[in-house]
Protein backbone atom coordinates (compact mmCIF):
# COMPACT_ATOMS: atom_id res chain seq x y z
CA UNK A 1 0.00 0.00 0.00
CA UNK A 2 2.73 2.50 0.92
CA UNK A 3 4.52 1.78 -2.36
CA UNK A 4 1.44 2.97 -4.24
CA UNK A 5 1.36 6.11 -2.08
CA UNK A 6 5.04 6.74 -2.81
CA UNK A 7 4.58 6.26 -6.57
CA UNK A 8 1.69 8.73 -6.61
CA UNK A 9 3.64 11.24 -4.53
CA UNK A 10 6.72 10.92 -6.76
CA UNK A 11 4.59 11.70 -9.80
CA UNK A 12 3.10 14.73 -8.05
CA UNK A 13 6.57 16.05 -7.15
CA UNK A 14 7.95 15.50 -10.67
CA UNK A 15 5.11 17.58 -12.11
CA UNK A 16 5.54 20.34 -9.52
CA UNK A 17 6.93 23.78 -10.39
CA UNK A 18 7.19 24.80 -6.75
CA UNK A 19 10.38 26.29 -5.30
CA UNK A 20 10.30 23.48 -2.75
CA UNK A 21 10.58 20.74 -5.37
CA UNK A 22 14.26 19.99 -4.67
CA UNK A 23 13.64 19.56 -0.94
CA UNK A 24 10.56 17.47 -1.70
CA UNK A 25 12.62 15.12 -3.90
CA UNK A 26 15.15 14.73 -1.07
CA UNK A 27 12.38 13.82 1.38
CA UNK A 28 11.02 11.22 -1.03
CA UNK A 29 14.48 9.66 -1.31
CA UNK A 30 14.60 9.31 2.49
CA UNK A 31 11.09 7.84 2.51
CA UNK A 32 11.82 5.24 -0.16
CA UNK A 33 15.04 4.28 1.66
CA UNK A 34 12.99 3.39 4.76
CA UNK A 35 10.46 1.49 2.68
CA UNK A 36 13.28 -0.48 1.05
CA UNK A 37 14.74 -1.35 4.46
CA UNK A 38 11.39 -2.80 5.56
CA UNK A 39 11.00 -4.81 2.36
CA UNK A 40 14.52 -6.20 2.41
CA UNK A 41 14.48 -6.91 6.14
CA UNK A 42 11.14 -8.76 6.00
CA UNK A 43 8.88 -6.78 8.33
CA UNK A 44 7.61 -9.84 10.21
CA UNK A 45 10.99 -10.11 11.96
CA UNK A 46 10.39 -6.83 13.81
CA UNK A 47 6.90 -5.53 13.21
CA UNK A 48 7.02 -2.63 15.66
CA UNK A 49 10.21 -1.17 14.19
CA UNK A 50 8.92 -1.75 10.66
CA UNK A 51 5.73 0.12 11.50
CA UNK A 52 7.75 3.02 12.90
CA UNK A 53 9.86 3.20 9.73
CA UNK A 54 6.78 3.19 7.51
CA UNK A 55 5.12 5.81 9.67
CA UNK A 56 8.19 8.06 9.34
CA UNK A 57 8.19 7.43 5.59
CA UNK A 58 4.58 8.52 5.35
CA UNK A 59 5.38 11.68 7.32
CA UNK A 60 8.18 12.49 4.86
CA UNK A 61 5.92 11.81 1.87
CA UNK A 62 3.26 14.13 3.25
CA UNK A 63 5.87 16.85 3.90
CA UNK A 64 7.18 16.44 0.35
CA UNK A 65 3.69 16.80 -1.08
CA UNK A 66 3.16 19.97 0.95
CA UNK A 67 6.43 21.48 -0.36
CA UNK A 68 5.44 20.53 -3.91
CA UNK A 69 2.11 22.27 -3.55
CA UNK A 70 0.20 19.07 -4.27
CA UNK A 71 -3.42 18.53 -3.23
CA UNK A 72 -2.89 14.75 -2.98
CA UNK A 73 -3.45 13.48 0.59
CA UNK A 74 -2.58 9.84 1.35
CA UNK A 75 -5.19 7.89 3.33
CA UNK A 76 -3.55 7.41 6.75
CA UNK A 77 -6.25 4.94 7.85
CA UNK A 78 -4.45 2.37 5.69
CA UNK A 79 -1.59 2.40 8.21
CA UNK A 80 -2.00 0.94 11.67
CA UNK A 81 -1.97 3.59 14.40
CA UNK A 82 0.55 3.09 17.20
CA UNK A 83 -2.18 2.58 19.81
CA UNK A 84 -4.09 -0.09 17.90
CA UNK A 85 -5.52 -2.73 20.24
CA UNK A 86 -5.42 -5.61 17.76
CA UNK A 87 -2.33 -7.68 18.50
CA UNK A 88 -3.10 -9.79 15.41
CA UNK A 89 -1.95 -6.89 13.24
CA UNK A 90 1.58 -7.42 14.50
CA UNK A 91 1.81 -10.30 12.02
CA UNK A 92 -1.19 -9.75 9.79
CA UNK A 93 -0.21 -6.27 8.63
CA UNK A 94 -2.04 -5.46 5.40
CA UNK A 95 -5.25 -7.30 6.31
CA UNK A 96 -6.92 -3.90 6.47
CA UNK A 97 -6.75 -3.72 2.67
CA UNK A 98 -8.58 -7.01 2.19
CA UNK A 99 -12.32 -7.39 1.61
CA UNK A 100 -13.79 -10.82 2.33
CA UNK A 101 -17.22 -12.29 1.53
CA UNK A 102 -19.23 -12.76 4.74
CA UNK A 103 -22.84 -13.97 4.71
CA UNK A 104 -23.18 -12.91 1.09
CA UNK A 105 -21.83 -9.41 1.76
CA UNK A 106 -18.45 -7.80 1.17
CA UNK A 107 -16.65 -7.29 4.49
CA UNK A 108 -14.07 -4.44 4.43
CA UNK A 109 -11.49 -5.00 7.17
CA UNK A 110 -10.30 -1.38 7.05
CA UNK A 111 -13.50 0.23 8.33
CA UNK A 112 -13.92 -2.40 11.05
CA UNK A 113 -10.34 -2.93 12.23
CA UNK A 114 -8.84 0.54 11.83
CA UNK A 115 -11.72 3.00 11.95
CA UNK A 116 -13.98 1.22 14.45
CA UNK A 117 -11.02 -0.55 16.14
CA UNK A 118 -13.03 -3.78 16.27
CA UNK A 119 -11.08 -6.54 18.00
CA UNK A 120 -10.13 -9.41 15.69
CA UNK A 121 -11.40 -11.82 18.37
CA UNK A 122 -14.93 -10.57 17.65
CA UNK A 123 -14.95 -12.66 14.48
CA UNK A 124 -11.89 -14.93 14.77
CA UNK A 125 -10.62 -17.48 17.28
CA UNK A 126 -7.43 -19.48 17.82
CA UNK A 127 -9.09 -22.01 20.14
CA UNK A 128 -9.40 -24.79 17.55
CA UNK A 129 -7.69 -23.40 14.49
CA UNK A 130 -5.60 -20.26 14.05
CA UNK A 131 -7.81 -17.45 12.79
CA UNK A 132 -10.93 -19.60 12.56
CA UNK A 133 -13.99 -17.51 11.63
CA UNK A 134 -16.54 -17.60 14.44
CA UNK A 135 -18.62 -14.55 13.57
CA UNK A 136 -22.39 -14.80 13.26
CA UNK A 137 -25.14 -12.73 11.69
CA UNK A 138 -26.18 -11.75 15.21
CA UNK A 139 -22.68 -10.37 15.81
CA UNK A 140 -22.98 -8.15 12.75
CA UNK A 141 -26.55 -7.11 13.55
CA UNK A 142 -25.58 -6.02 17.07
CA UNK A 143 -23.84 -3.01 15.50
CA UNK A 144 -25.36 -2.58 12.07
CA UNK A 145 -28.96 -2.72 13.28
CA UNK A 146 -28.56 -0.17 16.06
CA UNK A 147 -29.96 2.51 13.77
CA UNK A 148 -33.42 1.35 12.72
CA UNK A 149 -33.69 4.24 10.26
CA UNK A 150 -30.70 3.08 8.24
CA UNK A 151 -31.36 2.25 4.58
CA UNK A 152 -31.58 -1.56 4.46
CA UNK A 153 -30.36 -1.67 0.84
CA UNK A 154 -27.03 -0.11 1.82
CA UNK A 155 -26.03 -3.57 3.08
CA UNK A 156 -28.72 -5.91 1.75
CA UNK A 157 -28.47 -5.20 -1.97
CA UNK A 158 -29.26 -8.79 -2.98
CA UNK A 159 -32.44 -8.85 -0.92
CA UNK A 160 -33.46 -5.46 -2.30
CA UNK A 161 -33.19 -6.66 -5.90
CA UNK A 162 -35.21 -9.82 -5.27
CA UNK A 163 -37.91 -7.79 -3.54
CA UNK A 164 -37.94 -4.54 -5.52
CA UNK A 165 -36.98 -6.07 -8.86
CA UNK A 166 -33.91 -5.62 -11.05
CA UNK A 167 -31.12 -7.65 -12.62
CA UNK A 168 -28.93 -10.03 -10.64
CA UNK A 169 -26.69 -12.86 -11.88
CA UNK A 170 -28.26 -12.51 -15.35
CA UNK A 171 -31.74 -12.91 -13.85
CA UNK A 172 -34.35 -10.31 -14.77
CA UNK A 173 -36.37 -10.16 -11.57
CA UNK A 174 -39.84 -8.56 -11.44
CA UNK A 175 -41.13 -6.80 -8.32
CA UNK A 176 -42.59 -9.03 -5.63
CA UNK A 177 -46.33 -8.69 -5.11
CA UNK A 178 -45.74 -7.20 -1.63
CA UNK A 179 -43.37 -4.61 -3.10
CA UNK A 180 -46.03 -3.79 -5.71
CA UNK A 181 -48.34 -3.04 -2.77
CA UNK A 182 -45.66 -0.61 -1.48
CA UNK A 183 -44.87 -2.70 1.60
CA UNK A 184 -41.37 -1.63 2.67
CA UNK A 185 -38.68 -3.55 4.58
CA UNK A 186 -39.64 -1.98 7.92
CA UNK A 187 -43.19 -3.34 7.69
CA UNK A 188 -41.87 -6.87 8.29
CA UNK A 189 -38.40 -6.35 9.74
CA UNK A 190 -39.10 -3.73 12.41
CA UNK A 191 -40.94 -4.86 15.55
CA UNK A 192 -43.08 -2.76 17.91
CA UNK A 193 -39.97 -1.85 19.93
CA UNK A 194 -38.41 -0.46 16.72
CA UNK A 195 -35.83 -3.25 16.70
CA UNK A 196 -34.68 -4.85 13.46
CA UNK A 197 -35.75 -8.50 13.45
CA UNK A 198 -35.94 -11.53 11.18
CA UNK A 199 -39.72 -12.10 10.97
CA UNK A 200 -41.48 -15.46 11.04
CA UNK A 201 -44.95 -16.64 10.13
CA UNK A 202 -46.44 -14.73 13.08
CA UNK A 203 -45.76 -11.47 11.25
CA UNK A 204 -47.75 -12.65 8.23
CA UNK A 205 -50.70 -13.73 10.39
CA UNK A 206 -50.65 -10.49 12.36
CA UNK A 207 -50.68 -8.32 9.25
CA UNK A 208 -53.04 -10.33 7.04
CA UNK A 209 -55.33 -11.36 9.88
CA UNK A 210 -55.69 -14.95 8.69
CA UNK A 211 -54.19 -18.04 10.31
CA UNK A 212 -53.86 -19.68 6.88
CA UNK A 213 -50.85 -17.44 6.21
CA UNK A 214 -48.85 -19.40 8.79
CA UNK A 215 -49.16 -22.50 6.62
CA UNK A 216 -48.50 -20.52 3.43
CA UNK A 217 -45.31 -19.05 4.92
CA UNK A 218 -43.94 -22.54 5.65
CA UNK A 219 -45.09 -23.99 2.33
CA UNK A 220 -43.32 -21.23 0.42
CA UNK A 221 -40.07 -21.77 2.29
CA UNK A 222 -40.26 -25.56 1.97
CA UNK A 223 -40.86 -25.39 -1.78
CA UNK A 224 -37.88 -23.09 -2.44
CA UNK A 225 -35.64 -25.11 -0.12
CA UNK A 226 -36.53 -28.36 -1.93
CA UNK A 227 -36.11 -26.85 -5.40
CA UNK A 228 -32.74 -25.34 -4.46
CA UNK A 229 -31.51 -28.66 -3.04
CA UNK A 230 -32.64 -30.53 -6.16
CA UNK A 231 -31.02 -27.95 -8.44
CA UNK A 232 -27.74 -28.11 -6.54
CA UNK A 233 -27.76 -31.92 -6.87
CA UNK A 234 -28.54 -31.66 -10.59
CA UNK A 235 -25.66 -29.22 -11.07
CA UNK A 236 -23.37 -31.73 -9.35
CA UNK A 237 -24.49 -34.45 -11.78
CA UNK A 238 -24.08 -32.10 -14.75
CA UNK A 239 -20.46 -31.41 -13.81
CA UNK A 240 -19.76 -35.14 -14.15
CA UNK A 241 -21.24 -35.27 -17.66
CA UNK A 242 -19.45 -34.56 -20.95
CA UNK A 243 -20.79 -31.08 -21.60
CA UNK A 244 -20.06 -28.75 -24.47
CA UNK A 245 -18.53 -25.34 -23.74
CA UNK A 246 -21.95 -23.75 -24.26
CA UNK A 247 -23.57 -26.18 -21.83
CA UNK A 248 -20.83 -25.52 -19.26
CA UNK A 249 -21.53 -21.81 -19.64
CA UNK A 250 -25.25 -22.41 -19.09
CA UNK A 251 -24.56 -24.50 -15.98
CA UNK A 252 -22.23 -21.81 -14.64
CA UNK A 253 -24.92 -19.14 -15.11
CA UNK A 254 -27.47 -21.27 -13.27
CA UNK A 255 -24.96 -21.87 -10.46
CA UNK A 256 -24.45 -18.11 -10.06
CA UNK A 257 -28.22 -17.55 -9.96
CA UNK A 258 -28.70 -20.31 -7.40
CA UNK A 259 -25.96 -18.81 -5.22
CA UNK A 260 -27.72 -15.43 -5.34
CA UNK A 261 -31.05 -17.02 -4.34
CA UNK A 262 -29.39 -18.79 -1.43
CA UNK A 263 -27.61 -15.59 -0.37
CA UNK A 264 -30.97 -13.81 -0.27
CA UNK A 265 -31.72 -16.07 2.68
CA UNK A 266 -35.51 -15.68 2.69
CA UNK A 267 -36.27 -19.03 1.00
CA UNK A 268 -38.80 -17.35 -1.23
CA UNK A 269 -40.44 -14.91 1.16
CA UNK A 270 -38.90 -11.93 -0.65
CA UNK A 271 -40.22 -13.07 -4.05
CA UNK A 272 -41.72 -16.55 -4.02
CA UNK A 273 -43.41 -16.41 -7.41
CA UNK A 274 -40.20 -15.53 -9.24
CA UNK A 275 -37.92 -17.88 -7.28
CA UNK A 276 -40.23 -20.87 -7.68
CA UNK A 277 -40.65 -20.26 -11.41
CA UNK A 278 -36.94 -19.70 -12.01
CA UNK A 279 -35.76 -22.70 -9.99
CA UNK A 280 -38.32 -24.98 -11.67
CA UNK A 281 -37.19 -23.94 -15.16
CA UNK A 282 -33.51 -24.03 -14.17
CA UNK A 283 -33.87 -27.56 -12.79
CA UNK A 284 -35.49 -28.70 -16.02
CA UNK A 285 -32.72 -27.05 -18.04
CA UNK A 286 -29.84 -28.55 -16.05
CA UNK A 287 -31.35 -32.04 -16.13
CA UNK A 288 -31.51 -31.81 -19.92
CA UNK A 289 -27.81 -30.97 -20.30
CA UNK A 290 -25.72 -33.81 -21.64
CA UNK A 291 -28.79 -35.60 -22.98
CA UNK A 292 -28.34 -35.82 -26.79
CA UNK A 293 -32.00 -36.66 -27.41
CA UNK A 294 -33.21 -33.58 -25.58
CA UNK A 295 -32.55 -30.38 -27.55
CA UNK A 296 -35.25 -28.36 -25.84
CA UNK A 297 -34.28 -24.80 -25.16
CA UNK A 298 -35.35 -23.30 -21.87
CA UNK A 299 -35.24 -19.53 -21.54
CA UNK A 300 -34.13 -18.65 -18.00
CA UNK A 301 -34.27 -14.90 -18.49
Q: What is the pLDDT along the chain (301 residues), one digit of tens a residue?
A: 788 898 999 999 999 999 999 999 999 999 999 888 888 876 666 767 777 888 889 999 999 999 999 999 887 765 655 444 566 776 777 787 888 888 877 888 888 888 888 888 889 988 888 889 998 888 888 788 777 667 888 888 999 999 999 999 899 999 999 999 999 998 999 888 888 888 999 999 999 999 999 999 999 999 999 999 999 999 999 989 989 999 999 999 999 999 999 999 999 999 999 999 999 999 999 999 866 544 445 566 6
CB 153 within 8 A of CB 160: yes
Burial of 285 (0-12, 13-18, 19+ CB in 10 A): buried
- pLDDT of 298: 57
Same domain, residue pair 57 and 137: no
Same domain, residue pair 69 and 167: no
- Rounded Cα gap, residues 215 and 223, in angstroms: 12
- Rounded Cα gap, residues 200 and 126, in angstroms: 35
CB 249 within 8 A of CB 300: no
Q: Helix, strand, or coil here: 156?
A: coil
Same domain, residue pair 206 and 179: yes
Same domain, residue pair 173 and 120: no
- pLDDT of 276: 97
Q: Report, in angstroms and rounded to the nearest whole number, the Rg of the chain calculated over CA atoms.
A: 27
- Rounded Cα gap, residues 212 and 221, in angstroms: 15
Same domain, residue pair 19 and 105: no
Same domain, residue pair 275 and 177: yes
Same domain, residue pair 278 and 220: yes
Same domain, residue pair 108 and 126: yes
Q: How many CA atoms lie within 13 A of 232 on its CB side?
A: 11
> Which distant-in-sequence residues (6+ apart) come within 8 Å of 174 by Cβ?
165, 271, 274
Distance, CA of 267 to chain centre: 20
Same domain, residue pair 30 and 128: no
- Rounded Cα gap, residues 280 and 167, in angstroms: 19
Range of the domain at 220: 158-288
Does 297 reside within a domain? Answer: no
> Which distant-in-sequence residues (6+ apart) come within 8 Å of 102 by Cβ?
135, 140
Same domain, residue pair 113 and 234: no
Q: What is the count of structural domains for the chain? A: 3
157-164 vs 245-264: helix axis angle to the nearest 10? 100
CB 62 within 8 A of CB 55: no
**Where a domain ends, among 78, 110, 129?**
78
- Rounded Cα gap, residues 188 and 199, in angstroms: 6
**pTM here?**
0.60
Dihedral of the CA atoms 287, 291, 295, 299 (nearest 10)? 20
Does 282 reside within a domain? Answer: yes
CA separation (Å) from 171 to 93, 119, 280?
A: 39, 38, 14
**Where a domain ends, among 120, 144, 168?**
144
- Rounded Cα gap, residues 45 and 37, in angstroms: 12
Same domain, residue pair 253 and 172: yes
Amino acid sequence: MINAVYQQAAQEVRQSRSDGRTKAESLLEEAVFNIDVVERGKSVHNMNYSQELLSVSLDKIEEALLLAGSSYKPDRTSFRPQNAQNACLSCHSGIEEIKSPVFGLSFPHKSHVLIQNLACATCHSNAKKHGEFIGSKSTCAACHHKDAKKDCASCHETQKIFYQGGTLADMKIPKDIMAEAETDCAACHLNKQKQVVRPGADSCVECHGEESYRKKFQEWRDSIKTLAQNLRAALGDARKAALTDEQKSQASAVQSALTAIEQDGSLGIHNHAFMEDFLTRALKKIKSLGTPSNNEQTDLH
